[in-house]
Structure 1
């Protein structure tokens, strides 16, 4: 059966805690005739299968296999429970941030919708419903809501966009054309306005010229306002500007009525230009998606969509091309630019037998690559999804502004109404004309666009800027949380140290030789994938160890290994294993490194010292984080106390806990969380694979070495793609800069609006100042937010 007809299913195995059982389940499911492929991810408790018949029946069989091997584990279909409940819509032409907020609010109010997030920066609406069967109906309703509020917006579903790059280009061109036509329209209206100012005409002639100028400039605003009022949507900027300027005409302030509308429209035009520029800047950060792959079939090479390439296919990557899919180089060597993935400016060399990842750019050599992951699971696609979906995880500040905007505009409008009516009634000699004018100033100032536009752009810009530095942040909430870090807890191996082990010493006991000791250790470690086991096997240069010689292989968590080889029982592990098995061993070893004790048939054979180098930037990371205000540094490790103390002393850590099992790491983090202040956050930095539970439990989980690591991207809130702890400094610096810009915008917008409102109430501000307090401040806030996209981590 062809690959096209296979059905992919991702199953969640809730309650699966036994790695051995997970391996058995994977193998047993793979033996089913209906299953083409079976892949288990024990860390994420998921089983991916490719099925060639009706999935329902096969999943029942899989559930029975799981129950037989590991009773109590529940099998769930993530495809149905998640994917079929979600939809992403692109809203082309959405230029009004206030309307965007209304769309999001109304969609969230739908009974069937669990969550809806609209990213104004990307013009994307993500919807999640409570049942898959209602998704289509909800999308129809959402289309009606969008067209109700913004009739000119074009709605596209995610699968409609097959050519992301080209589509983005044409969409950008459409935006530019629309802005040009808007400029021409405003220019014509402005010409009539200038003529009315310069020419000395009768009252009727003056009214006619000002009227023509007003209709040309403000016609769009008036029509939108009328349409929205007919639908019961009163409190928006179109209505406010229409009332304010019509009111100016009513009290015969013709020049001011036209001028306010003119400057409002000019301000909106510049604001749209700034927002579009900001969008392009943000989207350029995500411009790493490959457009095609060169598929090699026998003697032919043809261009295809990366989605059409299967695992095991061969692709050719020419100089200057983006690597479209993850894989292994089987022919050729080249320098590759990894900046798009890691932010690292120095190219690195790849050659035959080495891994290469999608999103890298081939610089000079011709490479043939054997594909190891389909495009949907490739590194570049995961990064794109992560950064794009980050917009839906809103920061507390963003949520506050959203709520604030709901009440701010109606509050100011009712304030304007009171200002127009009450003073003339209670103050002797007060003229209605004067107080109506003051009320009109209130109306012009009341739009919260400066905040509604600039703050989401700010957070998204911060996330994009961090990705340029090789730091992936999963949402604005995590970016904001990085501002309040009190404690940093770090794993040792692979985080503070290189995780590359070498045999430093081989010290036999009694009559045993170094060769005997190393051979016994190698026999014990043959079936282990642990880096320490691999270092022992690399050091062993003797005859090949046959797996059929090894019996009763037992891995004792937190202790080591017990195996039987040719009738001999071999123990290889830490001091806890020796004590557990009552072995009389040498416990007075004064060496810095990981010690592997070896015993054979209850006789102590000796020990092997394994060294692991501290990362070059580890000390820099600790000192830099201290300068940023982090109070406490703690290291958690499964290694022995001597090694842990040596690393802690060299790096100047405040505390360390050694010889910990994975569940004990969680306990230590829980203790620290309970002792920490509510407004201060705890970061755990680990490798994202062994430390997934601790990453999930901490306030902010940071995964090291995320490049190509699925588990890291899944488990962590922040991923440091360069595998450097010092990148955490970059992440916090960008977070602090983002917060600084956002609070500048909040103070700027509310401060100027507040001042103009007060001056307007006392009759000291005109509508000219009010227009600046509205669109002028919005433009300044957007331009200020754009600075974040150019932020550096240094």
Structure 2
């Protein structure tokens, strides 16, 4: 099998195409994303539901007011006045205006906190998530490899071994190569990376190879284990690790205290996933490893709703589309950032907590608007139907209710100034 990115040096290749062009993994991922988005449909909030009920009830109540007026003998003019008054007081423009204004306010509040909120309607899921799913590499970890251990298998010192490896890795745009060169602090003449290995030469012109090997024992938890070979003979091993984001453990603890189920979904091997899981406070049963991008989406579909997925790469796209709210981290791929419901533009995973604060404010605003609309209509509709309210008074009360709903919507994000610490009551409030 010839892998993508391989470079043919000196041999003639005869390739057999085993699958059609549109059967690539990236094509299947794109198709799955489209299916998930189509199945999800438009998300409906509580004030949207109240708005729909009022819109359907308005003509019926106006007809009731007209009929009741005629039965009571107030004449056609008086009956029409009652119907007009009923139409005015029920007019659901308060909720119709308040929702877009709240969305605009929440986008502004997110920007002040280093967040880009692209889909405010998804914040209802973030306000009280049933399950939060994390990708591993680049999300729970920094995504930047670092040399953590060097073992010499020859007369070479660890410093000499690292310098030798750097001669093969210099000039290669690859995470492993960048980690080796950064640790060595010196550049070589430039190497060449083939599938799973880099090749170069030492000062004497001898061949140098840096190749990935299958880890064993404690090394299974490493992000990468490399073997350095000089003229084909192993002279040492270099271990690399991906550092855990320092903001992860506090976030995991916060989510667990507030009842959210937690899950790691990664394509990496189980030993490495377990190692990171232990570092951030996840239990072994909360870790799913060796998953393909499509299997990640299947996992999200099977979890308790609503599901929030936090990821960083193109391979997370199907799972992000299958979730109720998706969050991309600051170092995410541009495609993940563009498609996420919420994108972290500044800071680390601690921004997820701030996003939850904003989401709860947004949801509580919708609930207050719905309660205001229901209370207002319960009070004024009987007065309008019975004819004890004039059209002018109906217009004034309707305007007042609209102004209250608008003022309530504009409060989103203003409860905590930018840079102020998050208060415990903000994190736990479910108003």
What is the TM-score with the length of structure 1 in the denominator?
0.43
Query: 2:370 is matched with which residue?
Result: 746
Instruction: Give the distance between the partners of 1:406 and 1:443, measured in 2 at CA.
Output: 10
Deviation track 1:56-83 (CA, whole Å, cap 9, x = no partner) reads xxxxxxxxxxxxxx98479xxxxxxxxx
Query: 1:411 is matched with which residue?
Result: 60
Deviation track 1:94-144 (CA, whole Å, cap 9, x = no partner) reads xxxxxxxxxxxxxxxxxxxxxxxxxxxxxxxxxxxxxxxxxxxxxxxxxxx
Instruction: Give the distance between the partners of 2:214 and 2:97, measured in 1 at CA.
Output: 60
Query: 1:723 is matched with which residue?
Result: 347
Shift of 1:522: 2.8
Query: 2:211 is matched with which residue?
Result: 572
Which aligned pairs between 1:364-379 and structure 2 lie closer than 5 A?
Answer: none
Query: 1:100 is matched with which residue?
Result: none
Judge which range, 776-785 or 523-532, deviates more: 523-532
Instruction: Give the distance between the partners of 2:109 and 2:52, measured in 1 at CA.
Output: 27
Instruction: Give the distance between the partners of 1:395 and 1:749, measured in 2 at CA.
Output: 21
Shift of 1:738: 0.8
Shift of 1:733: 1.9
Instruction: Give the distance between the partners of 2:4 and 2:324, measured in 1 at CA.
Output: 27
Q: SS at the partner of 1:494?
A: helix
Judge which range, 437-446 or 716-725, deviates more: 437-446
Distance change in 2, residues 1:452/1:464 (3 Å): same
Q: SS at the partner of 2:246?
A: coil
Instruction: Give the distance between the partners of 2:300 and 2:318, measured in 1 at CA.
Output: 15
Shift of 1:593: 4.6
Query: 1:597 is matched with which residue?
Result: 226
Query: 1:445 is matched with which residue?
Result: 89
Shift of 1:612: 4.0
Q: SS at the partner of 1:545?
A: coil
Shift of 1:720: 0.5
Shift of 1:500: 4.2
Q: Which runs of 5+ in 2 are unaligned?
A: 9-18, 24-40, 423-431
For these two proteins, the number of residue pairs brought into alignment is 384
Whether the 8 Å CA contact 1:734–1:791 is kept in 2: the answer is no
Task: Select the residue among 228, 245, 250 that pairs with 1:615.
Answer: 245
> Which is bigger in relative contact order (C-alpha 8 A, separation at least 6)?
2
Query: 1:711 is matched with which residue?
Result: 335
Which aligned pairs between 1:64-463 and structure 2 lie closer than 5 A?
Answer: 72=21, 395-397=43-45, 400=49, 403-404=52-53, 406-424=55-73, 438-439=82-83, 441-463=85-107
Which aligned pairs between 1:446-525 and structure 2 lie closer than 5 A?
Answer: 446-511=90-155, 513-515=157-159, 517-519=161-163, 521-525=165-169
Shift of 1:647: 2.7
Q: SS at the partner of 1:493?
A: helix
Instruction: Give the distance between the partners of 1:19 and 1:474, measured in 2 at CA.
Output: 33
Asked if residue 770 in structure 1 is aligned to residue 394 in structure 2, the reply is yes
Q: SS at the partner of 2:356?
A: helix
Shift of 1:634: 1.9
Query: 1:649 is matched with which residue?
Result: 278
Instruction: Give the distance between the partners of 1:533 and 1:411, measured in 2 at CA.
Output: 71
Shift of 1:529: 2.5
Instruction: Give the distance between the partners of 1:713 and 1:521, measured in 2 at CA.
Output: 35
Shift of 1:536: 0.8
Asked if residue 536 in structure 1 is aligned to residue 177 in structure 2, the reply is no
Q: SS at the partner of 2:338?
A: helix
Task: Select the residue among 623, 627, 636 that pairs with 2:266.
Answer: 636
Query: 1:125 is matched with which residue?
Result: none
Query: 2:28 is matched with which residue?
Result: none
Shift of 1:591: 9.1
Shift of 1:704: 0.8
Distance change in 2, residues 1:395/1:769 (3 Å): farther
Q: Which has the larger radius of gyration?
A: 1
Shift of 1:438: 4.8
Q: SS at the partner of 1:488?
A: strand
Instruction: Give the distance between the partners of 1:541 and 1:460, measured in 2 at CA.
Output: 48
Shift of 1:572: 1.9
Instruction: Give the distance between the partners of 1:602 and 1:640, measured in 2 at CA.
Output: 31
**Alignment root-mean-square deviation, CA:** 3.9
Deviation track 1:288-320 (CA, whole Å, cap 9, x = no partner) reads xxxxxxxxxxxxxxxxxxxxxxxxxxxxxxxxx
Asked if residue 734 in structure 1 is aligned to residue 373 in structure 2, the reply is no
Distance change in 2, residues 1:455/1:699 (3 Å): closer
Whether the 8 Å CA contact 1:701–1:718 is kept in 2: the answer is yes
Distance change in 2, residues 1:473/1:689 (3 Å): same
Whether the 8 Å CA contact 1:756–1:769 is kept in 2: the answer is no
Deviation track 1:354-390 (CA, whole Å, cap 9, x = no partner) reads xxxxxxxxxxxxxxxxxxxxxxxxxxxxxxxxxxxxx
